[in-house]
Amino acid sequence: MKNTVIRLAIERPRSIYAAVMLLVVATAALMTRIEIDTDPENMLPAEQADRLFHNAVEKTYTYHDAIVVGVVNEQHPNGIYNVRSLTALHSLSNSILALDGVIAPDLASLASVDNIEQEGSGAIRFEWLMRAAPVTEQQATDIRDKVNRLPLLKDSLVSGDGRAATIYVPIASKDLSYPLSREIQALIDELDSEDAYHITGLPVAEDTFGHDMFVQMGISAPLAGLMLFVLMLYFFRSAQLVIAPMLVAMATVIISMGLMIGLGFTVHIMSSMIPIFLMPIAVVDSVHIMSEFADSYGRGGNVKIIISRVVDHLFRPMLFTSLTSAVGFLSLLLTPIPPVQIFGAIVAFGILLAFILTILLIPAYVIRMSPAALDKLTSEKRKAHTDTLLARALRRTGRFAMRRGKLVTGIAVLAIAFSIAGIYRIEINDNPVRWFKASHPIRIADDVLNEHFAGTYDAFVVLTHDGAVARAEYIRNANKLLVDIDAAYAVGIREQLNADPVDSGAYYGNLIATIDDALFDAVGPATVDSLERLMELAEQAQVTSKYFQHPEALEYISDIQDALNNSGYVGKSNALSDVVKVVNRELRGGADSEYRIPGSEAGVAQALMQYQSSHRPHDLWHIVTPDFSSTVIWLQLKSGDNQDMSLAMNFLDEYLAAHPLPADVEMRWAGKTFINVVWQNVMVAGMLKSLLGAFVVVFLMMAFLFRSARLGLLAMVPLSVTILGVYGIIGWAGKDYDMPIAVLSSLTLGLSVDFAIHFIERTRSFLRSSGSFAAAEKQMFEEPARAIARNAIVIAIGFTPLLFAPLVPYITVGIFMAAIMALSGVTTLVLLPALMSCAGPWLFPEMKKRGAFAAVSGEPATA
């Protein structure tokens, strides 16, 4: 088969060009269907339990995506509480209300919320907090005094220090975030204000991220390609020759991406990195072929024969390096994060595609080069290839590694120990906002707002009471009573008893109304008595079902809030208990001592009915369901770091262990900040599984390739040392283990094993031909070592353009790509020969018999 392929490439170059061209054009056409996906939620499968729950909570409590407009005044002694600032805020808030796509009833700003306060003797007043902009400074500071009495507003709508205020602008669809934020910016530009305005919020961040991703794919990836081209040009000195691997790389990237998009997958942050990952891998095989071709051309002369021999030579190691790299990326399928799985599958596909394209296109390309170009490429340069700084350095390296095998091994062991210590220091943490650079406007807005407010990161503690037990008991009792009730009424009541209980507000409401109607019409003492009893029990069951209207439940929530607020992990918490306390205080004269929960369920119900008598009664349903069976404690966190969210979660776990939830009450987390923690945990566990799985499979493949478990083990050394080293550095450097860092393990595995396969395979073949380890190693540090070194350098330097990418994950990948290449290049070229010099006879037992290690081990040659 191998020979058929090589012959095909050499005999039918035009057909190969045509076929590849056709494929590229077809898949490039598919790319027009591109759909960008920047929703961090999509890191979890659509049916993942926490995600489903989070989405259900967002729907139940009507949480919209919101643009957050922040305004800061650092100069005025009263902060934003001055006529000019508030006038501007008032005007902006009202202008935004009139924009299409804004969900006006849920817009929250000083100009759109209610105040409840004392008026005159014993009267209370419900009114807009800032219906009109203040005219005097006194009116402005009056607003401050009102806000400071409303715990739901203070530190949420206006910062506690009075320097900053926000306008929460809920929007009908994420797609509107870009046009709406532009319109809002235009409104801000027209304001008479010297305050600093910031526009942020998750939909804006996602939109910006998507835009920057496009920029990255459109600029950084081609730039990386250009860099690869220039570097290869430096090594091979023939633009004509170097175009070939570039063609392979581009065809690989276009076909893979086109196919992915054509299959209907969205382009996520992970898949946007596919071109970057595929390009170096696609080029690696070509570099091996060209490196050997450039070094051997001129000795023979016949291009077809030489290229056939080179490809024949390299076919096995290239096939295996491609297979093992592919396995490394396929192992990502073990990580249950869809974007990571798609990324792994497509890169694995691309790697195998690159292999096929390489062995078809490169020979086809080379034999079509003019003899003049080929001669220019090689004959006069051959000397130069073997006499460069790199060539001389490699020879010295080889000699050093051979002579000082034990020293090198010792150093490696120390380095491994050092790395492992580093790995123990790794902090697992991520925060999608940090994917923006610190200088990005979104990061700046994030910093400024979190400096002033209790936090812009939301998490929700969702408490749900299961009313099924109480309802079942009521139905049992009701059925007994129904026996005595005139059938004319019993039928209708039974119907209500069997109705869908999902909304217990409707369930008990309809039931009680039906009984009430029956009571009016019914005659006959048995029926009336039973109906009255039925009514009494129904009302009791209804009160029970409104669990979060019970003072005990609210006190329990209030205690959780106190604990969380004092824990230091949470900026602020907002809950139903706060609403009830404020209304109770104002109803009872406004004294601070009345800031408490009423003593009876009826008291709470009546206080809440007053709260509902405002301009925004629907606000209540953002924290409790209308049937009072479920409620949220809304937490504001100053940091979106997963570590900080995890600390809050652990704290609550411990608190709940010490203060168990009431009977039939369940607690679950929701909120974007929580979801990020969920997918990170899934990712870390999944990545470990992926890495171990790939490790085992690659080892088995190596053992099979070399028909030797010992050589298989040896082949695993460079990648193991590199992975340990890279993660050790991450640990010591204090860089958080985040999404891009997690994916690097597969890249390391894929690329490091390449070098090892080439090195071991070539060493063994030289050993066989020369019969001497010393001679084989000398040969190894000629052409094979140069190919490995060139590859390492090309990839490492080729990705420096990523350092200028607008998004941090790409920068991270760029830096660590260089580190991985450097480490795996060095371990392959230094540690492998050193290990071979120490353990050669054990590694190559059949060569030991032939006396190949005589010079090294000091044993006399026996053959």
Which residues contribute to the site for another protein (CB under 8 A)? 59-60, 62, 94, 97-98, 103-105, 114, 119-128, 131-132, 503, 505-506, 508-510, 512-513, 516, 520, 539, 542-543, 546, 549, 584, 587-588, 598, 600-607, 609-610, 612-615, 617-618, 620-621, 625-627
* 25 or 56: CB nearest another protein: 56
Helix (H) or strand (E) holding 464, with range, is strand 457-465
Shortest Å, Cβ 199 to another protein: 21
Nearer to another protein, 62 or 266 (CB): 62
Complex with another protein: residue 53 or 128, whichever CB lies closer? 128
Structural contact between residues 629 and 465, judged by C-beta atoms closer than 8 angstroms: yes
Q: Least distance to another protein from the beta carbon of 621, Å? A: 6
Rounded to a whole number of angstroms, the minimum distance from the CB of residue 615 to another protein is 5
Residue among 242 and 624 whose Cβ is closer to another protein: 624
CB count within 10 Å of CB 378 equals 22
CB environment 497-526: b (16+ within 10 A), e (fewer) = beeebeebeebbeebbebbeebeeebeeee
CB of 177 to another protein, least distance (A): 20
Per the CB < 8 A criterion, the answer to whether 141 and 78 are in contact is yes
Phi and psi at residue 772, to the nearest 5° = -135, 130
Q: What is the DSSP letter of 198?
A: E
Nearer residue to another protein within complex by CB, 508 or 759:
508
**What whole-number distance in Å separates Cα of residue 385 and Cα of residue 158?**
69
Q: Which is nearer to another protein, 424 or 520 (CB)?
A: 520
What's the CA gap between 6 and 409, in Å, rounded? Answer: 40
What minimum distance in Å lies between the beta carbon of 627 and another protein?
7
State how far the Cα of 222 lies from the Cα of 215, in Å rounded to an integer: 11
Closest to another protein by CB, 568 or 626: 626
Contacts of 602 (CB under 8 A, 6+ apart): none
Output 414 or 609, the one with its CB closest to another protein.
Answer: 609
Give residues with Cβ within 8 angstroms of 679, minimum separation 6. Answer: 40, 43, 44, 337
CA 634 to mean position of chain CA atoms: 23
Per-position DSSP letters for 651-685, written without gaps between them = HHHHHHHHSPPPTTEEEEEESHHHHHHHHHHHHHH
The least CB distance from residue 605 to another protein, in Å, is 4
Q: Of 59 and 707, which CB lies nearer to another protein in the complex structure?
A: 59
Kindly state the smallest distance separating residue 476's Cβ from another protein, in Å. Answer: 21
Q: In angstroms, what is the minimal distance from the CB of 336 to another protein?
A: 31
Picking from 789, 788, 785, 793, the residue whose alpha carbon sits closest to that of residue 818 is: 793
For residues 228 and 236, give the distance between their C-alpha atoms in angstroms, rounded to a whole number.
Answer: 12
Helices 389-403 and 405-424 meet at what angle, rounded to 10? 90
Q: How far is CA 576 from the centre of its chain?
A: 33
C-beta of 447 vs 517, nearer to another protein: 517
Query: Exposed, middle or buried: residue 400 (CB in 10 Å: 0-12, 13-18, 19+)?
Result: middle
Q: Please, which residue, 478 or 604, has the CB nearer to another protein?
A: 604
Gap between the Cα atoms of 173 and 193, Å rounded? 30
Name residue 839's amino acid. A
Which DSSP helix (H) or strand (E) runs through 463? strand 457-465
Whether the CA torsion 313, 317, 323, 325 is positive or negative: it is negative
The two structure tokens encoding residue 384: 């130069």
Q: How far is the CB of 468 from another protein (least distance, A)?
A: 18
Helix, strand, coil in percent for the chain, rounding step 5: 70, 10, 20
**Minimum CB separation from another protein for residue 72, in Å?**
28
Task: Give the residue from 725, 716, 744, 688 showing the smallest Cα distance to 417.
Answer: 725
**Least distance from another protein to the Cβ atom of residue 111, Å:** 12
In angstroms, the CA 287 to CA 362 distance is: 10
Whole-number Å distance between alpha carbons of 394 and 25 = 42
Around 341, how many Cα atoms within 13 Å sit in the side-chain half-sphere? 13
Reported residue count of the chain is 863
* Closer residue to another protein (CB): 620 or 808: 620
C-alpha to C-alpha distance for 730 and 325, rounded to whole angstroms: 23
Q: CB of residue 629 vs another protein: minimum separation in angstroms?
A: 11
